[in-house]
Amino acid sequence: FDAPVKVKKGESFAIVAKITKDSGTVRIYSEYGYSMNGLTYSLKANKGESFYTYNPSYGWFDCTDSGKNNLMIKAYAVSDTQCTEHTYGEWIIDRDSTCIATGEKHRVCSKCNHIETATIEKKPHNYITSVVAPTYTTDGYTIHKCSVCNSSYIDNYVSKLTLDAVGNVRRVSGTTTSVGISWDKNAAASGYELEIYKGGKWTQILRTS
C-alpha cells in the first residue's frame, strides 16, 4: 500500500494494513524522515501483527505479535514536514516589475507546499532619443526620454553657434557730420548691428536684417 503521511517533529504516525495471506511485504517510503529521504524499505510481514518502530540511529526494529490480525507500521518523525530537497513548480508572478519598481514572484514545492518568494528586478527603461540642435543663443544636446515613465537624461552637449567676426571694416566716405563704412559680407549672418562708442559706452544706431 501507499499512504502519504505528514507529521511534525517529535510526533509519530501509524499505518495499518490487513494481511490476508500467510506472509507478504510492505513498502515504506519516507520523504521527511532523518536518513530516510528518498529511500524505500520493504519489510516482511507474517500473518498477524508485525509491529515496526524506526530509530534514526539503528533503523527498523521488528516486534512481532502473532495474536493480532493486522500489520501495523509505526515510525517516529525526526524532522519537520518540510523537505530536505524541495521540488518546486514554475514561478508565479504576483506583481510584475516595471522600469521604476521591482516585482515579486513565488513558487510552491509539490512535496510539502513550501513557498519560495523572489524579487523580480526592474525592467530597463525604453529610451527614445532626440537630438536638439544648437542655435546662436542656446547649446545643443541629446535627450533620452523613457516612453513608459518619462524619466530622462541629457548628454552629448554641443556649444551654441558663433559667427565669425566681421572682417575688412573700412571707411569709404565721410564728411564733418557723417561717415560711410563698408565690410565683407558674412554668409551665415541674417543681419548686422551697427554701434557707436560715445560718452563712454556703446550705443546701437543701426540694425539690418
Together in a domain, 94 and 38: no
- Kindly indicate the confidence band of residue 110, based on its pLDDT and cuts at 50, 70 and 90: confident
Confidence of residue 106 (pLDDT cuts 50, 70, 90): very high
- Domain region containing 133: 127-158
For 13, 24, 71, 75, 146, the CA distances from 43, given in Å and listed in that order, are 17, 8, 11, 13, 68
**How many domains does the chain contain in total?**
4
pLDDT over 90 percentage in the chain: 29
Q: For residue range 125-139, what is the model confidence (pLDDT) as tens digits? A: 999 999 999 988 899
In a domain, 2, yes or no: no
